[in-house]
Amino acid sequence: MTTYISINKKVQVTVKVKNTGEENIKGYFWFKAYYGSLTESTGDPLADDNAWASQADVSDSYEDSAETTLSPGEIKTMTGSNPVAVADYYSDGDTIDVGVVVGVAPSPDMVGMEGHVDSLKKDDEIVIGTYELGVVSVNFSSYENPSTLDIKVKNTYPISKTATINIYVDGALTHHVSETINASSEQTVSVNVSDLNLSKGEHFVYCEIAE
C-alpha cells in the first residue's frame, strides 16, 4: 500500500517481527531501513544490507539497549530512532522504495553487523507531495444560542485521511473529535456545543489537527 507523505513532514518507520519457531530467540534485536531507488531483494539479508546501504539516499535504524528474549508466537515492535526530514532529501513528486533488514546480534557491539535474519523491499512505497490535512475555518452555527461548532477541514491528500481535531476553549484543551475526510475534499465536522461545557459570555475557541 502506497504511503503519501507531505514534503514538510518526517518519515519514521515501525517494524514488527514475530517468532514463528518453537524456541525462544534471545539477543539484541535491530533493524535498518533504507530509502531511495533500491535493487530487488536477493533473499540474502546480508547481501541486501550491503547493496541497499550503498544505494540509499538516507537510512534509519533501531537497536535494543538490552538483551531481549522473544518467545514462540510473540511479536516485537521496533521504531526507528532517527526520523527522516523529507525535504532534506526529496522533492515534490518523488517516489521512494523502502528496504528493511532485521537481525538479532549476539552482543551489543555486533548490532547491525551480525545476526542478519530477514529483509524486505517495498517498491514505490512512499510518494512525496505537497499534501495538507488542516482546519480551514471554525464557526458557530449561530451568534446567539448556537447548537453546533462547525469546523471545516481540507484534505489535499489523494486518499482519505482521519482527522483528529483538538478543540481549545480559552486556551485549554476541552474536547476532541475524529472524522474521516475524503480524498481531495473539504468537509465540515460539527460538534455539539453542549460537549464544550461553555459558560455564559464570550469565549476564544481554537481548533487544530492533532499530529
Q: What is the pLDDT of residue 37?
A: 97
Nearest one of 13, 43, 37, 5 to 124, comparing CA atoms: 37
Q: Which of these CATH numbers, 1.10.10, 2.60.40, 3.40.50, 2.40.360, describes 133-209?
A: 2.60.40
Q: What is the pLDDT of residue 144?
A: 81
Chunk the chain into consecutive blocks of 10 residues (it has 211) and report each block's average pLDDT, rounded to whole numbers: 91 96 97 98 97 98 97 98 96 96 96 96 95 95 90 96 96 96 97 91 92 72
| Distances, alpha carbon 185 to alpha carbons 133, 154, 158, 176, 181, in Å | 10, 6, 9, 21, 7
Q: What is the pLDDT of residue 196?
A: 94
Q: What is the pLDDT of residue 143?
A: 82
Q: What is the pLDDT of residue 140?
A: 93
Q: What is the pLDDT of residue 199?
A: 84
Q: What is the pLDDT of residue 211?
A: 72
Domain borders along the chain are 3-129, 133-209
Nearest one of 175, 170, 171, 173 to 199, comparing CA atoms: 170
What CATH fold (topology level) applies to the domain 3-129? Answer: Immunoglobulin-like (2.60.40)
| Distances, alpha carbon 103 to alpha carbons 12, 33, 46, 98, in Å | 19, 12, 10, 17
Q: What is the pLDDT of residue 1?
A: 77
| Strand ordering across the sheet containing 185-192 | 133-140, 148-155, 185-192
- CA–CA gap between residue 151 and residue 195 (Å, rounded): 14
Q: What is the pLDDT of residue 105?
A: 97
* pTM of the complete model: 0.80
| Predicted confidence (pLDDT) per residue in 60-92, tens digit | 999 999 999 999 999 999 999 999 999 999 999
